[in-house]
Amino acid sequence: MRSVRTGSGERPATVPTVVTEPTALAFRTGSRSPHGCGHITGRRRVAALAGALLLIVPTAAGCGKKAEIVALAVDALGPDPFSSTPFGTDRSHVQPVPDGGVRAGDLPGLYGGSLRKKTCDKASLVKFLMDGKNAQKARVWAEVRGIGVRDIPAYVKKLTPVLLRNDTLVKNHGFRNGAKTVFEALLEAGIEVLVDDRGQPVVKCNCGNPLAAPDIRDPADISPDIIGDAEWRRTFSPRRVTIVRPDTTRRVRRFHLIDIDNGRGIGRPAGANARDVRLPAPSIPPGDQRPADPASPAAPSIVGTWRSSGPISSLISVEPGDAGAFIGVLASDLQLGPGCVLRAGRRTWSMRGAGPDYTGSVTAVDMTNCGELSEVPATWRLTGHDTLTICLDLDQLRCETLARTDG
């Protein structure tokens, strides 16, 4: 078994407070920037170009700092564990799939498992939390999960044990001095978790800590320097980091897992109250794009020219990029202020996806001189042929709708 470190005990920066204005979002001076940069001290305005949507922020001093998270290796309990007695067994040397990114919780092959044994002991977790000696822990645990203490047994019964196949970002909740602690965490591939009926990781098995979706949106900001385990640090790639964003409208009845012992498929009923069954290996692992069915009509493409609907009208032309990517460039000049006119042809978007959903980033621009600054994470959704919605998610979600102009 490898020696591991639990990561730094220093707490990550909090998510900045966001104030909504008529055509902009503004960060309060003294908060941290959304990309792990230093304290915001400047007063220049910055625009993140999402059609006519302007994200106005003060510029940050010393933006060389990476996203602040705690890296938790296989077998590491991590800071502030609910229990020092493990409820599950992680697996070392799980080979990550090539690509990570934002994934649905029911994606075939997203998680792994084994037919030989289930290693997350849900009964022991419930027994621990319902023990009168752990009443404070049970209260905090239930609060994080949004349930009552008396509902813990029924809630845990419905959870499903799986192994992470990729390094995965989560929000980890610990327990210290009678209260919860909260920090962003990077969990190494091979860590066992319990997922809910949407496929969202909600419990770290070895320590019992409740988990939630992370606030960090862009794994590209993660530095290998946060990883204490030398072997993990050597092989780490931000491109393989996964963020689980499940479909909240659809419950998973059965998870299609990869058997980490032999690469075959496993069908695991949600809640694991029924027996696992052998299935073929998932044909589309995380990161692959499903090929189009030649017998079906072509899906609408994001490629084209789009006009924003806001008070500052702009035209964005989306073009194919390299290796399945897309880029958005200004199709006409855009004036942001007296000292800033963005010229046609300037690149403003970068995105990937097979449609109708895409993920990527938009460019933040200094409105005093049109200089490019950082990239802001964004998502796009294509509705039908003619409507494109872009959203920036920085604590508050702000979206803009664009209409196709090229037919």
Local structure of residue 171 (DSSP, 8 states)? E
Q: Look at residue 1 and tell me if it is in a domain.
A: no
Residue 53 has pLDDT above 70, yes or no: no
Q: Are residues 270 and 370 in the same domain?
A: no
- What is the token pair recorded at 170? 């989560």
Across 11-31, average pLDDT: 28
For residue 280, whether the previous peptide bond is cis, meaning omega lies within 30 degrees of 0, is no
Residue 200 CA to its chain's centroid (Å)? 11
- Final residue of a structural domain among 60, 80, 114: 60
Task: Tell me: do 163 and 215 sit in the same domain.
Answer: yes
**Extended strands (E) in 79-224:** 101-103, 111-113, 160-164, 168-176, 179-187, 192-195, 201-204, 211-212
pLDDT tens-digit map of 72-129: 999 999 999 999 999 998 998 887 777 788 888 999 999 999 887 667 999 999 999 9
Residue located via tokens 């040397």: 93
Are residue 106 and residue 124 in the same domain, yes or no?
yes
Domain boundary among 60, 82, 115: 60
Tell me, what's the pLDDT at 71? 94
Q: Supply the mean pLDDT for the chain.
A: 76
Q: Shortest CA distance to 303 belongs to which of 385, 225, 359?
A: 385
135-145 helix and 122-130 helix, angle to the nearest 10 degrees? 120
Domain count, the chain: 3
The β-bridge relationship of strands 53-55 and 315-320 is: unpaired
Over range 187-195, report the average pLDDT.
96
Average pLDDT over residues 31-43: 34
3-state secondary structure (DSSP) of residue 239: helix
Residue 65 lies in a domain: no
379, 390 in Cβ contact below 8 A? yes
The DSSP code for 158 is: T
Best-predicted range by mean pLDDT (24-28, 37-41, 195-199, 363-367): 195-199
Q: What is the CATH number of the domain that holds 360?
A: 2.40.128
User: Looking at the whole model, is its pTM more than 0.75?
Assistant: no
Interacting residues of 209 by C-beta distance below 8 A, sequence separation 6+: 78, 80, 81, 82, 172, 173, 174, 175, 203
Dist CA 277 CA 279 (whole Å): 6
pLDDT at 293 over 50: no
Task: Enter the DSSP assignment of 230.
Answer: H
Residue percentage of the chain with pLDDT more than 90: 34
- pLDDT at 193 > cutoff 90: yes
Q: pLDDT tier at 156 (50, 70, 90 boundaries)?
A: very high
Average pLDDT (288-308) is: 59
Q: Round to whole Å and give the CA distance between 254 and 251.
A: 9
pLDDT value for 166: 94
Q: Is 103 left (phi over 0), alpha (psi -120 to 50) or beta?
A: beta
Rounded CA gap, 342 and 332, in Å?
9
DSSP assignments along 66-85, one per residue: PP--EEE-TT---SS-S-SS
- Domain-located, residue 297: no
Q: Give the H or E element holding residue 4.
A: none
In DSSP terms, 320 is beta-bridged to 326
> Do residues 245 and 315 both lie within one domain?
no
Taking the C-alpha atoms of residue 52 and residue 31, their distance in angstroms, rounded to an integer, is 25
Domain membership of residue 292 (yes or no) is: no
Regarding whether 169 and 47 lie in a shared domain, the answer is no
The whole-angstrom separation of Cα 223 and Cα 227 is 8
Q: How many other C-beta atoms lie within 10 A of the C-beta of residue 287? A: 18
Domain containing residue 37? 18-60
Do residues 305 and 126 lie in contact, with contact meaning Cβ atoms separated by under 8 Å? no
- Residue 13 CA to its chain's centroid (Å): 17
CA angle, residues 151, 154, 155, in degrees to nearest 5: 80
Q: Among the three residues 231, 264, 279, which one is the final residue of a domain in this structure?
A: 279
pLDDT band at residue 359 under the 50/70/90 scheme: confident
